[in-house]
Chain A
Amino acid sequence: MNLLTLALGNLRRRPARSALTVSAIALGIAAVVALTTIAWGFEVSWQKANDARGTDLIVTRTGSENAMPSPFVGAAVLNQLAHYPHVQDVAGLLSEMLTIGDHSPPIFVFGWAYGSYLWDHLKLLQGRWPADRNEPVVVLGVLAAEMLHKGIGERIELEGQTLEIVGIFQSSALVENGAVLMTLDRAQSITDKPNKVNVLNVKMDKQASEADVSYVKEQVRKTLTGYVAITSGELVSRNAVVRIAKAMSQVTILIASLVGALVVFNTMLMSINERTREIGVLQALGWPRSRVMTMIICESTLLALVGGLIGIAVGVLIATGLEHTELMRGKIDAIYSAPFFAAVLGLSVLLGIGGGLFPARMAARLSPAQALRHE
């Protein structure tokens, strides 16, 4: 009988206690997995949306940390940006979270400059694009069409205006698939923000180098007071919601780790107390202290590993469930990656080793005579 089967056998002797310990660890790990994948997913889905459009730099107001940066009049800034070297196109974007009809959850509504490069990455599945900058029509992302149960030719009401759906599109970014899209002029009219944009998207030409991008950033900082040029990654990571989600995930990791280690510690301490005579017999039979310690740590690690595996599965289920809730659908895209799961399993193993270390040392320090006298 090797150490692993011996450890498994020991855990099976107290199935209820082992199951409870595994459940506690699994719950902690599930919370870590769900929160972390969603926090990352929120960040990545926004970054994907910006990257998919081919945007190299985003110009917005300094200090805008809301999900949607404050709107500003874009024309003067746009004209200045267009004159910087290697700038191929500058396109305004206005976005809002609006409800459609009386009972639907809020949905992203984007207004993009008509004829700009922003539209190029979208794949039109049905219908057509808006025919001019003022046409009172919208195109829906494939997920938005599904959520709203709407198709080509039907109408939606947005901020008191009725608009015809003329197209359904697909994007590589989930945020866009779950959005309603129209021309910038139409969005400005609907939201009563004439000439305003939330951000200006800057596309550099193919010859532009990293240094050219940095130059534009520097010029914006020097010449456009109150504005900042940043990459999509910088914009997303500065977002207050992303920062809060990440902080929450880090706190959860900390709490789950502490609770997990304490649960394992307690379980192993109880187990050793019950098995003092058995450990004494093993030592009397010639088991070295290191082997006793290894056996105990093997047991605690097994508990934590099983808890970790179940926790990952439960966490993925929770995150997937949240992604499909009415409120969150089309807004978050949980990110699952093998390295992350490996790290979570590694954390579980560490919890097992950490929680089992002290009880294992206690068991190994028992003298056989003392242990055999234990009642």
Chain B
Amino acid sequence: MVTQLLAIALAMWSLQSLAADSRDSLPGLLEAIKQARHSDGFEVRFAITAVDAQKLRTVPVKIAVIGQANADRQRFLVRGISPDAVRNQHFVAENSAAGPIDAFEYGPDSEGHRISLDPFARLFNTDFVMWDLFAVWWDWPHQIADGNGEVNGRSCLRVKSRPAVPMPVKEVVSCIDRETALALSTQVYDAQHRLRRTIRVEKLMRKGSSEGLMAKKLSILGEHGATSEIDVYGGDEQYRISPETFGVLDRFLGKAN
């Protein structure tokens, strides 16, 4: 009995060690990042405050993002909560197995239209860009480790991601915390290799349902010194996706009954 327990403990320790070791190699770390993004359903609510170059702050815009992601498909629903100008504005998008992203915009009456998910299209007059949610750069063929970096005192591995074909985004440079497989900073460069935005995790918090960490505060530094501060104030790590959640998306895509 004792021998069996010891064997189980040893096996578990070996598995944990293997998981930790696998993150030491770039392919292992990339796999861990992709795995960490998988979810049967989550909801996150955050308030975005835009701060212009003169440090003037706008009224916070509250947004809810519902998502579901696995190896075959990612889909996200972005809903404006407040103020009135953004309330019940919906953006919904889906991509499957590295295919194109189908995106739609609709209002409270569920009537809407297809939109192009531009990597530089800001939503709700903030620096929030829905394209970033898909993190498609992790599927790009060129992934290059570029030394160690540091974000807010946490060390991380810089990874440069480049697409195989010319795209509006030429390169994304991320700094990954090996322990959590979380991108502590993400820099997006356009086709002319101009830095268009830098997303930084400013504060982390412990996940409610596991030992992992997640972002509590983020900032998006835009081109002209303007910043958007993102404060995650609520959500549900095990959000139950109902048929209605992405019902409008399914209807737009012709999947609905």
Question: A64 CA to B62 CA in the complex, in Å?
Answer: 26
> In the complex, A196 Cα to B41 Cα: how many Å?
14
Please give the distance in Å from A260's CB to the nearest CB on chain B.
31
B80 closest partner in A (C-beta): A160
Question: Is B225 at the interface (CB under 8 A from chain A)?
Answer: no
Q: Does A159 contact B (CB under 8 A)?
A: yes
Is B233 interfacial (CB-CB < 8 Å)? yes
Q: Report whether A192 and B206 are in contact in the complex, using a CB–CB cutoff of 8 Å.
A: no
Bound together, the chains give a CA A99 to CA B60 distance in angstroms of: 10
Main secondary structure of the interface of A (DSSP, over half): loop
Please report the C-alpha to C-alpha distance between residue A196 and residue B239 in the assembled complex, in whole angstroms.
Answer: 10
**Bound CA span A244–B87, Å:** 37
Q: A106-B233, A191-B234, A192-B43 are in contact. Are A69 and B59 (CB under 8 A)?
A: no
B40 to chain A, nearest CB (A): 14
Residues of A within 8 A of B59 (CB): 102-103
Interface of chain A residues 128 through 183 with chain B (CB within 8 A)? 157, 159-160
Report how far A159 CA is from B46 CA in the complex, Å: 11
Interface size for chain A: under 10, 10 to 19, 20 to 34, or 35 or more residues? 20 to 34
Contact A66 B81 (CB under 8 A): no
Query: Is A71 located at the chain interface by the 8 A CB criterion?
Result: yes
* Residue A193 lies at the interface, judged by CB distance under 8 Å to chain B: yes
Residue of B43, B87, B209 near A160 (CB, 8 A) is: B87
Do B208 and A196 have beta carbons less than 8 Å apart? Answer: no
Q: Which of A97, A98, A196 contacts B236 (CB 8 A)?
A: A196
User: Given A66-B206, A66-B208, A159-B82, A194 and B240 touching (CB < 8 A)?
Assistant: yes
Check: B141 CB closer than 8 A to any chain A CB.
no
In the complex, A65 has a CB within 8 A of chain B: yes
Residue of A nearest to B242 (CB): A194
Instruction: Known A-B contacts: A98-B234, A159-B45, A193-B236. Give 11 more (CB < 8 A).
Output: A61-B209, A63-B209, A66-B208, A98-B233, A102-B59, A159-B82, A192-B43, A192-B66, A192-B239, A193-B239, A194-B242
Out of A69, A73, A191, which one reaches B208, CB within 8 Å? Answer: A69
Q: Which residues of A contact B81 (CB under 8 A)?
A: 159-160
Say whether A99 contacts B234, CB under 8 Å: no
Cβ–Cβ contact B88 & A160, under 8 A? yes
Per a CB cutoff under 8 Å, which of B60, B62, B64, B80 touches A192? B64
State whether B62 touches A159 (Cβ < 8 A): yes
On whether the beta carbons of B206 and A240 are closer than 8 Å, the reply is yes
- A240 contact set on B, CB distance < 8 A: 206
In the A-B complex, the 5 residue pairs with the closest CB atoms? A70-B208, A160-B81, A102-B59, A160-B87, A70-B209
